[in-house]
Chains A and B, each alone.
Chain A
Amino acid sequence: MTHTVLIGLGVLIAILTVVSALGLLPSLRIVPDDTHFDFTRFRRISFPISAALSIVAIVLFFTHGLNLGIDFKGGTLLEVKAKSGTADIAAMRTSLDGLGLGEVQLQQFGGPENVLIRVAEQPGGDAAQQAALQKLRGALGDSVDIQRTEVLGPRVAGELLAYGMLGLMLAIVGILIYLWFRFEWQFALGAMIANVHDIVLTIGFMSISQVDFDLTSIAALLTILGYSLNDTVVIYDRIREMLRRYKKMPMPQLLNESINSTLSRSIITHVTVTLALLALLLFGGHAIHSFTAVMMFGVVLVGTYTSIFIAAPILIYLGVGEHREDAPDTATPAKKSKA
């Protein structure tokens, strides 16, 4: 079934390729050529909204917390598949609750035969986790196939969490230093504020949705960071270029021009990344489901918003182009040269 669909789509691509190569296809303009949205004025709304959302996210983080996955919390996780085709969760619960391992979480996923079993970290160090796994395996017996097991002792889990956080910090600092080299410091600072904003909101999302926060979440966060910056840098590049070219244009107008002229690119790239993520979300299976869900939120919802409504307008507050009126006016047109 899927193969037929794939072959069909392949044929469609072949036809489209030939048709486009011959120039027979009308061009699809998602964004009109000349847009003049006043994005910068919107900062009076977007900044308070972002501030409020960030506070909500932080409050959620402290009240709701994150649903720490096994990577960071330690404990035991088993993924089992019932041989009979339907897992009897109630019976499983009864037999596993009797093991004295504290609360045993059972969760069905994917189909009636798949069950995810989680047991919290056992007191007594690494050996105790191993003993718990042995007990679980024994109690489950032959009625299920064990598809996956993960056992993490308390120290490794703690180290992974520390490492993950360290990595996040390292990435932010590394990117900051790079931007500082390539741009002026205001740009680096603006990008970092945007960065932190992205991460805070995404953490808020993870808190609300209670997706597992594990190593892959850190990977997702870092990708969001890199991608959102990618977007920000494209706009910053344009701002820098405009700053050189139009020495007298007022800052808000200059920012608007920069955002508008890169808008088409922002949206088209967004669509392509969303398409790729959508495929992963729908067909990639549950193993990377929370990974792609977090990325979808961070990249598609937050990332672009941040670049346009936070990263660019914040430059005004950081004093970019403050003394531009003093600059000698070289023979550049004050207004747009484009017809």
Chain B
Amino acid sequence: MLYFTRWKALGIILTALIVCLCAVPNFFPEAQVKSWPAWAQRRIVLGLDLQGGSYLLLEVDAAYVKKERLDQVRDDVRRTLRDAKIGFTGGVTVRNDAVEVRITKETDAQPALAKLRELSQPLGGLMGSSGQRDLEVTDAGGGVIRLSVPQAAVLDRLRKTIEQSIQIVERRVNELGTVEPVIQRQGNDRILVQVPGLQDPTRLKELLGRTAKMEFRMVDTSVPPDQAQAGRVPPESELLMSASPPPTPYVVKKQVLVAGGDLTDAQATFDQRTGEPVVSFKFNTSGARKFSQATQENVGLPFAIVLDNKVISAPVIREPITGGQGQISGNFTVQSANDLAILLRAGALPAPLTVVEERTVGPGLGQDSIEKGQLAAYVGSILVIIFMLLTYRLFGVFANIAVAINVAMIFGLLSLLNATLTLPGIAGIVLTVGIAVDSNVLIYERIREELRGGRNAISAIDAGFKRALATILDSNITTFIAAAVLFYIGTGPVRGFAVTLGIGIITTVFTAFTLTRLIVAWWVRWKRPQSVPI
């Protein structure tokens, strides 16, 4: 137990040294570290509770995703049957999470079934051969054909929706000019957004809470709005309200001339004549062509700019717009024009997002937490160090050296992993100091016992290490299991605690098995002690 080959000793010291050195970048300003080689840039990230910032958990409306898919299937069914000239009665209905259609003629039932089966596509992805399809087309009897969306297909769609949403959210958050935001998927239907330094997320929530589905549509002038409000809306049109107060009804055709996806750029500017804030935009080539054609055909008629099913404005087309660019005015303030420009540039969300969890910490409170955590850490460590010195004297010095290296290694490993340090995480480190000396206490008490049992100094030390190490391993693994579970279930600050506790256990076991032993072994070789001052 007390014999180390030269190489082994060197290996232990080098390992400890390298891990400790990993903590070095934390002591330099961030800007300076940026100029270092990439492998030297790893450092501890402060959690939002310490540096201040906003944490938002957004949820995609899964019901909306499903409903939209069913609506799409309904339109597909209608079109397919019409194209195939197959008659159906009672329309195509969405019922019980499925689309149903009743075929009029019995002889048409089989061809209809065959046609509709063509709508069903195999589910993509890595498991392409799984045999799953995105639609299940069944004959429900009595001429009714039922098209249902299987759970796997819904989840697949939800996954794609989340992926798209994350891209859009990323673009919108980046437009705010924030520093190092974190945007991640969480679970099946959630997106986590962390923005360090953002104290009031109200504007961010406003930006993320809007789908921003932009459409250019014609106003239906065949019916006055007040008559439409009384219930006489033509089937190919719908009644929409204005975006800005007072709420004004508009009858707008359902057909979309150009959609927001055809926009390439949008900027908030001021109108040259009136001086009011407006949003100017540019179409891509296909958007420009569609828009120019539509405006040529409808000179003198009003068209509506619709955002999230609300009419922003409904100007009259005075002349064909062929340049592929234009501007939107609609009682904007500078801020709302800016927001709309951001939303248009970033693109529309495939489904609405709602905030299901929000946590913000102001920078002042974070700084306060850092100071308190530091103070507690210093005081805790000092108390433990003094107590160990009083209890074990020289061996207390050994223990304190081991604990100091232990803590340095915790910071090294945290940096290496780019781990997040939170306030409970600091508590975890302080607790580790308390627990880390336990390994020394176990060894020393065992040595004392062996000495009482009549062994001589060196053999007592040797036996003390041998017997105590097995116990140290067993007792630390139980705590490690608890830390691992905590890491798995926890989020944010709690996860930070699990990380420091778990890493603390690893470094504690490492120092107990190697460094403490090495220090004592050197002392034994140097002193050749007859008695142990323990």
Residue A223 lies at the interface, judged by CB distance under 8 Å to chain B: yes
Residue B424 lies at the interface, judged by CB distance under 8 Å to chain A: yes
The answer on a CB contact under 8 Å between B356 and A153 is yes
A273 contacts across to B, CB distance below 8 A: 431, 434-435, 438
Contact of A148 among B365, B449, B476 (CB under 8 A): B365
Chain B residue, CB-CB nearest to A162:
B489
B126 contacts across to A, CB distance below 8 A: none
The answer on a CB contact under 8 Å between B59 and A126 is yes
Contact of B435 among A23, A227, A229, A291 (CB under 8 A): A227
Smallest Cβ distance from A23 to chain B, in angstroms?
A: 5
A175 contacts across to B, CB distance below 8 A: 478, 481-482
The answer on a CB contact under 8 Å between A174 and B481 is yes
Give the contacts of A311-339 with B (CB-CB under 8 A): 337-339
Residue A222 lies at the interface, judged by CB distance under 8 Å to chain B: yes
A234 contacts across to B, CB distance below 8 A: 442, 471, 475
The answer on a CB contact under 8 Å between A156 and B57 is yes
Q: A171-B482, A216-B494 are in contact. Are A30 and B380 (CB under 8 A)?
A: no
The answer on a CB contact under 8 Å between A170 and B357 is no
The answer on a CB contact under 8 Å between B393 and A27 is yes
The answer on a CB contact under 8 Å between A338 and B452 is yes
Chain A residue, CB-CB nearest to B393:
A20
Residue A98 lies at the interface, judged by CB distance under 8 Å to chain B: no
Please measure, in the bound complex, the distance between the C-alpha atom of A23 and the C-alpha atom of B379, giving whole angstroms: 26
The answer on a CB contact under 8 Å between B375 and A13 is no
Residue A108 lies at the interface, judged by CB distance under 8 Å to chain B: no
Q: A178-B478, A215-B494, A273-B434 are in contact. Are A223 and B383 (CB under 8 A)?
A: no
The answer on a CB contact under 8 Å between A222 and B382 is no
Q: Which of A4-12, A46-54, A56-64 contacts B (4 or more CB under 8 A)?
A: A4-12
Residue A210 lies at the interface, judged by CB distance under 8 Å to chain B: no
Please measure, in the bound complex, the distance between the C-alpha atom of A278 and the C-alpha atom of B384, giving whole angstroms: 11
A30 contacts across to B, CB distance below 8 A: 391
Please measure, in the bound complex, the distance between the C-alpha atom of A219 and the C-alpha atom of B485, giving whole angstroms: 10
Chain B residue, CB-CB nearest to A160:
B491
Give the contacts of B274-303 with A (CB-CB under 8 A): none
Q: Which of B111-119, B127-135, B394-402 contacts A (4 or more CB under 8 A)?
A: B394-402
How many residues of chain B get a CB closer than 8 Å to chain A's CBs?
Answer: 91
Q: Which of A37-45, A84-92, A281-289 contacts B (4 or more CB under 8 A)?
A: A281-289
Chain A interface residue bracket vs B: 35 or more
The answer on a CB contact under 8 Å between A226 and B382 is no
Q: Digit string of B445-457 for contact with A (CB within 8 Å is 1, else 0)?
A: 1001100111000
Q: Digit string of B412-434 for contact with A (CB within 8 Å is 1, else 0)?
A: 00000000000110110011011
The answer on a CB contact under 8 Å between A151 and B390 is no
Please measure, in the bound complex, the distance between the C-alpha atom of A64 and the C-alpha atom of B152, giving whole angstroms: 45
Residue B533 lies at the interface, judged by CB distance under 8 Å to chain A: yes
B397 contacts across to A, CB distance below 8 A: 17, 20-21
Main SS of chain B's interface residues?
helix
Q: Which of A99-107, A115-123, A262-270 contacts B (4 or more CB under 8 A)?
A: A262-270
Give the contacts of B175-210 with A (CB-CB under 8 A): 199-200, 202, 205
The answer on a CB contact under 8 Å between B362 and A275 is no
Chain B residue, CB-CB nearest to A15:
B389
A291 contacts across to B, CB distance below 8 A: 424, 427
The answer on a CB contact under 8 Å between A223 and B445 is no
Please measure, in the bound complex, the distance between the C-alpha atom of A167 and the C-alpha atom of B354, giving whole angstroms: 27
The answer on a CB contact under 8 Å between A20 and B396 is yes
Smallest Cβ distance from A73 to chain B, in angstroms?
A: 13
Chain B residue, CB-CB nearest to A292:
B427
The answer on a CB contact under 8 Å between B448 and A156 is no
Residue B8 lies at the interface, judged by CB distance under 8 Å to chain A: no
Residue B323 lies at the interface, judged by CB distance under 8 Å to chain A: no
The answer on a CB contact under 8 Å between A25 and B389 is yes
Smallest Cβ distance from A111 to chain B, in angstroms?
A: 11
The answer on a CB contact under 8 Å between B475 and A230 is yes
The answer on a CB contact under 8 Å between A145 and B433 is no
The answer on a CB contact under 8 Å between A33 and B389 is no
Residue A272 lies at the interface, judged by CB distance under 8 Å to chain B: yes
The answer on a CB contact under 8 Å between A150 and B478 is no
Please measure, in the bound complex, the distance between the C-alpha atom of A9 and the C-alpha atom of B423, giving whole angstroms: 24
Q: Which of B333-341, B343-351, B366-374 contacts A (4 or more CB under 8 A)?
A: B366-374
Contact of B394 among A20, A171, A225, A285 (CB under 8 A): A20
Contact of A276 among B373, B384, B392, B474 (CB under 8 A): B384
The answer on a CB contact under 8 Å between B445 and A264 is yes
A167 contacts across to B, CB distance below 8 A: 485-486, 488-490
The answer on a CB contact under 8 Å between A25 and B481 is no
A285 contacts across to B, CB distance below 8 A: 368-369, 372-373, 376, 423
Smallest Cβ distance from B486 to chain A, in angstroms?
A: 5
Contact of B362 among A146, A215, A225 (CB under 8 A): A146
Q: A178-B477, A288-B427 are in contact. Are A269 and B438 (CB under 8 A)?
A: yes
The answer on a CB contact under 8 Å between A229 and B383 is no
Please measure, in the bound complex, the distance between the C-alpha atom of A233 and the C-alpha atom of B445, giving whole angstroms: 16
The answer on a CB contact under 8 Å between A222 and B482 is yes
Chain A residue, CB-CB nearest to B451:
A33
Smallest Cβ distance from B448 to chain A, in angstroms?
A: 7
B479 contacts across to A, CB distance below 8 A: 223, 226-227, 229-230
Give the contacts of A202-235 with B (CB-CB under 8 A): 215-216, 218-219, 222-223, 225-227, 229-231, 233-234
Q: A219-B490, A237-B474 are in contact. Are A147 and B380 (CB under 8 A)?
A: no
A145 contacts across to B, CB distance below 8 A: 362, 364
The answer on a CB contact under 8 Å between B379 and A279 is yes
Q: Which of A21, A276, A288 has the most CB of B within 10 A?
A: A276
Closest 4 CB pairs of A and B: A276-B434, A279-B380, A226-B482, A226-B479
- Some 26 contacts from A to B, beta carbons below 8 A apart, are A6-B378, A12-B386, A17-B397, A20-B389, A25-B393, A28-B391, A150-B360, A151-B357, A171-B482, A174-B485, A175-B481, A178-B481, A216-B424, A218-B494, A219-B498, A226-B478, A229-B475, A237-B475, A241-B467, A272-B438, A276-B380, A277-B380, A278-B380, A279-B380, A280-B427, A287-B49
> Interface on A for B, CB 8 Å cutoff?
2, 6, 9-10, 12-13, 16-17, 20-21, 23, 25, 27-28, 30, 33-34, 79, 81, 126-127, 130, 133-134, 137, 145-153, 155-156, 163-164, 166-167, 170-171, 174-175, 178-179, 182, 215-216, 218-219, 222-223, 225-227, 229-231, 233-234, 237-238, 241, 261-262, 264-265, 268-269, 271-280, 282-285, 287-288, 291-292, 295, 337-339
Apart from A81-B364, A285-B373: 14 A-B pairs, beta carbons within 8 A: A13-B382, A16-B389, A20-B389, A23-B394, A28-B391, A137-B202, A147-B364, A163-B489, A215-B494, A273-B434, A275-B434, A276-B384, A280-B380, A338-B452
